[in-house]
């Protein structure tokens, strides 16, 4: 978040402080990937009942994802206070108490679970709750402060949105959503490590064993390069499995080579500016990749 935005939040209303705890930008990408999973689960355009189910599923997943983000802010309020990029949060500044944040997280989670259980199906509800536990508890509480592989192992919960979306419309799980889950799982480490490279002092100050802190800049850049090539191969699987067509394939190749190009340049010569560009390109990479899947799904 920019300095000007953080300054504005110093005098923001209470509702906005709570809203920011849900990490809106992150949740938007989560819900987008879940919605793509829903669309791909239905041959052709959804009918009215399916569209209503999609709306309920989007709302429920959004609420539970926001609850997980708020719980993360609760657990990491002390860590956030020591990091420049998170010190503006109301929990880090003590403007929202731990009790208020816990109640807010519990309310969002309960509302989301109720929506999914009543208007979607039990499978989606329990998978979404398991994702909440995976991120809010297993990743935040256990893995993040313990191992530099935290984002690799914990990335499994962040990779679940397409699976949740597919389950919401189908009521079961086939191989297709797990291919999408694999793509996000492999995308997460190079995406997050690019951020960690130029935020390494923040993580070191907070005492978190992120890869650039424990293994250094050079090793992290090599890992980013290797992961982008493995990711590139994984993004071809929807086409090779017959799940998508040529439009997606061309998009995946162009986006994948672009990400690999950024990673290669970063590996050859590091700069903070390049690490920032790599991080932001990674967000566009995943967003456009899933958008291409959606467009390809509806092409004749």
Q: Which domain holds residue 282?
A: 174-300
DSSP annotation string for 110-172: HHHHHHHHHHT-HHHHHHHHHHHHIIIIIIIIIITTT-TTHHHHHHHHHT-HHHHHHHHHHSS
Q: Is 104 found in the same domain as 197?
A: no
Q: Is 160 found in the same domain as 22?
A: yes
pLDDT digit string, tens, across residues 21-59: 999 999 999 999 999 999 999 998 999 999 999 999 999
- Given a cut of 80, whether residue 249 has pLDDT beyond it is yes
Domain boundary among 173, 206, 230: 173
Q: Is 188 found in the same domain as 148?
A: no
Q: Please tell me what DSSP assigns to residue 248.
A: H
Q: Is 160 found in the same domain as 187?
A: no
Handedness of CA 61, 64, 70, 74 (dihedral sign): negative
Q: Is 134 found in the same domain as 182?
A: no
Residue 15: which pLDDT band, with cuts at 50, 70 and 90? confident
- Given a cut of 80, whether residue 139 has pLDDT beyond it is yes
Contacts of 40-47 with CB under 8 Å at 24 or more apart are 40/162, 40/165, 40/166, 40/176, 40/177, 40/180, 40/243, 40/293, 40/294, 40/297, 41/165, 41/166, 41/168, 41/169, 41/170, 41/176, 41/177, 42/169, 44/298, 45/298, 46/169
Least confident of 83-92, 97-106, 107-116, 167-176: 83-92
pLDDT digit string, tens, across residues 219-240: 999 999 999 999 999 999 999 9
pLDDT digit string, tens, across residues 150-206: 888 888 888 999 999 999 999 999 899 999 999 999 999 999 999 999 999 988 888
CATH code: domain of residue 156: 1.10.357.140
Q: Is 142 found in the same domain as 110?
A: yes
Q: What is the pLDDT of residue 156?
A: 86
Domain count, the chain: 2
Q: Is 229 found in the same domain as 93?
A: no
Q: Is 273 found in the same domain as 140?
A: no
Q: Is 179 found in the same domain as 166?
A: no
Domain boundary among 115, 149, 173: 173
């Amino acid at each position: 978040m920019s300095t000007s935005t953080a300054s504005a939040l110093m005098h923001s209303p209470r509702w906005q402080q709570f809203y920011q705890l849900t990490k809106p930008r992150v949740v938007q990408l989560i819900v987008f990937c879940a919605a793509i999973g829903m669309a791909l689960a239905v041959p052709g355009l959804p009918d009215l009942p399916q569209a209503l189910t999609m709306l309920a599923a989007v709302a429920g997943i959004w609420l539970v994802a926001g609850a997980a983000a708020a719980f993360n802010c609760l657990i990491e309020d002390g860590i956030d206070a020591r990091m420049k990029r998170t010190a503006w949060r109301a929990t880090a500044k003590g403007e929202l108490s731990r009790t208020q944040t816990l109640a807010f997280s519990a309310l969002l989670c309960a509302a989301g679970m109720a929506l999914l259980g009543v208007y979607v199906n039990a499978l989606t509800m329990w998978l979404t709750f398991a994702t909440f536990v995976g991120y809010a508890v297993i990743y935040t509480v256990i893995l993040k402060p313990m191992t530099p592989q935290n984002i690799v192992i914990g990335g499994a919960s962040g990779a679940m949105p397409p699976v949740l979306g597919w389950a919401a419309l189908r009521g079961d799980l086939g191989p297709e959503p797990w291919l999408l889950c694999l793509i996000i799982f492999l995308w997460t480490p190079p995406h997050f490590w690019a951020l960690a490279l130029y935020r390494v002092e923040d993580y070191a100050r907070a005492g978190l064993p992120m890869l650039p802190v424990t293994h250094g800049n050079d090793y992290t850049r090599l890992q980013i390069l290797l992961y982008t090539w493995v990711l590139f191969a994984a993004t071809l699987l929807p086409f090779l499995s017959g799940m998508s067509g040529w439009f997606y394939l061309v998009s995946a190749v162009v986006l994948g080579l672009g990400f690999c190009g950024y990673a290669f340049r970063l590996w050859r010569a590091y700069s903070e500016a390049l690490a920032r560009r790599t991080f932001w390109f990674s967000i566009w990479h995943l967003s456009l990749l899933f958008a291409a899947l959606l467009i390809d799904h509806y092409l004749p």
